[in-house]
Amino acid sequence: MHTYNIHEAKTQLSRLVEQAAKGESFVIAKAGKPLVKVMAIDAPDAAQRRRIGFMAGQIRVPDDFNTMGAAEIQSLFENEK
């Protein structure tokens, strides 16, 4: 892994970012002391991101959803001893 000082990293930033995106991480140092490690992130691409509402129109919620099973649930509480 290569180490670059801050000035050198600033002047070659575009090239270094492309290099990191390809999997070649590097270190940026100040006065010879390593400060940060730059590496590619594993972010999902647009096709892999989950979206709210991606199942819209494919699922139907019954009209009695809020009361489904109410009698069974009530009997469980009433029959408890």
Note down the domain range covering 20. 2-38
Look at residue 47 and tell me if it is in a domain: no
Look at residue 81 and tell me if it is in a domain: no
Q: Which residues of 45-61 are buried (b: 16+ CB within 10 A; e: fewer)?
A: eeeeeeeeeeeeeeeee
Q: What is the tally of structural domains in the chain?
A: 1
Look at residue 28 and tell me if it is in a domain: yes
Look at residue 50 and tell me if it is in a domain: no
For residue 59, give the amino acid letter. Answer: I
Tokens 């270094």: give the residue. 16
Domain containing 28 — which CATH number?
3.40.1620.10
Look at residue 10 and tell me if it is in a domain: yes
pTM for this predicted structure:
0.52
pLDDT in 10s for each residue of the chain, 81 residues: 899 999 999 999 999 999 999 999 999 999 999 999 999 988 667 667 777 888 888 988 889 999 999 999 999 998 765
With the C-alpha atoms ordered 59, 65, 66, 70, is the resulting torsion angle positive or negative? negative
